[in-house]
Amino acid sequence: MLYHPDKHRDPELKRQAEQLFTYVHQAYEVLSDPQSRAIYDIFGKKGLEVEGWEVVERKRTPAEIREEYERLQRERDERRLQQRTNPKGTISVGIDATDLFDRYEEDFEDAPGGGFPHIDINRMHISQSIEAPLTTSDTAVLSGSLSTRNGNGGGNINLCVSAVFYATVGPLAIYLAVQKLIIMPYVRAQKEQELEKQKEDSASEIARRKQEAEASVLLMQESVKRIIDAEESKMGLIILNAWYGKFVSDNSQKPERAKVIDVTVPLQCLVKDSKLTLTEASKAGLPGFYDPCVGEEKSLKLLYQFRGALHQVLSGDTEPLRLPKQSHRISSET
């Protein structure tokens, strides 16, 4: 009802409502169809797009669809594991077939066993190796081999680790120093580079989500006013301030700036009968929200009023949240 175009007379609000109502319609089509909903519950939008998956028969039950998709996912994970570990193996066998080619015909007649030539397996070699990626450029290789020749055999196991881990062959003290001074900073730098690339790749998507969130907040204004009036009349739940994103602690070891957005209006719009319930999912998907810091840890910070008393809570991004709660109340001494 909030996004229905007919609920808005202002031409600009009506245009924005039409765009957002399209998503509501798409969501309804998915969730009202048992097969589509079963796929979405497991794999989200990717499952609906059937990227890389086999097409599942429409006549199957939701339980059968789940089973089929889980099987396909296991197969995909196994393929990815093989690609990452790159397992290689060889088996070679030495056969002595001299008796087959270097004998006179009369020897075959005198040989026991019906005159068949004697063939020996006198040598065998088996080798196997797997790779374990440590970083984007470093890989550890574990290999082993087993050989036997004329009844005598032997084997070996080798571990070849990338240059970053060369100190593991030295004393433990040197390894710990390398771990702290080289490996950890290197891995941290790699993660930061990957995060920056992720932000660059998703910049257009973030801009789109931000625009949609701002449009949603505009469409919520009238509803929020009515909700606040109703809650104030019964000393109910009033959201005073709400912020979502990455907060900077006082004891942070490096200078950072907070990356948060104001979500006071969207949360007040979700209040019903003096209660607010958020499920166990990322809050970036809520109406009026967007992700202000992709790939980073986020929280929701709330200051609200209930029955005339102030309450405050800090909740993790995917943690469920229910308001009001006695444990959120700010004491008069504070």
How do residues 198-254 score in pLDDT, each as one tens digit? Answer: 767 777 888 888 999 999 999 999 999 999 999 999 999 999 999 999 987 755 555
Nearest C-alpha neighbor of 210 from the set 259, 269, 280: 259
How do residues 64-76 score in pLDDT, each as one tens digit? Answer: 777 777 777 777 7
Where does the pLDDT of residue 159 fall: very low under 50, low under 70, confident under 90, or very high at 90 and above? low
pLDDT at residue number 96: 78
* Tokens matching residue 5: 């175009």
Residue 56 has pLDDT above 70, yes or no: no
Long-range contacts of 320-325 (CB under 8 A, 24+ apart): 320/277, 320/278, 320/279, 320/280, 321/276, 321/277, 321/278, 322/275, 322/276, 322/277, 322/278, 323/237, 323/275, 323/276, 323/277, 324/237, 324/274, 324/275
Supply the pTM of this predicted model. Answer: 0.56
Q: Which residues contact 191 (CB under 8 A, 6 or more apart)?
A: none
Residue 160 has pLDDT above 80, yes or no: no
Percent of all residues in the chain with a pLDDT value above 70, rounded to a whole number: 73
What's the mean pLDDT in 97-107? 62
* Tokens matching residue 239: 């959201």
Residue 51 has pLDDT above 80, yes or no: no
Percent of all residues in the chain with a pLDDT value above 90, rounded to a whole number: 29
Residue 193 has pLDDT above 80, yes or no: no
Average per-residue pLDDT for the chain: 78
pLDDT at residue number 134: 56
Q: Would you call 4 exposed, middle or buried from its count of C-beta atoms within 10 A (0-12, 13-18, 19+)?
A: middle
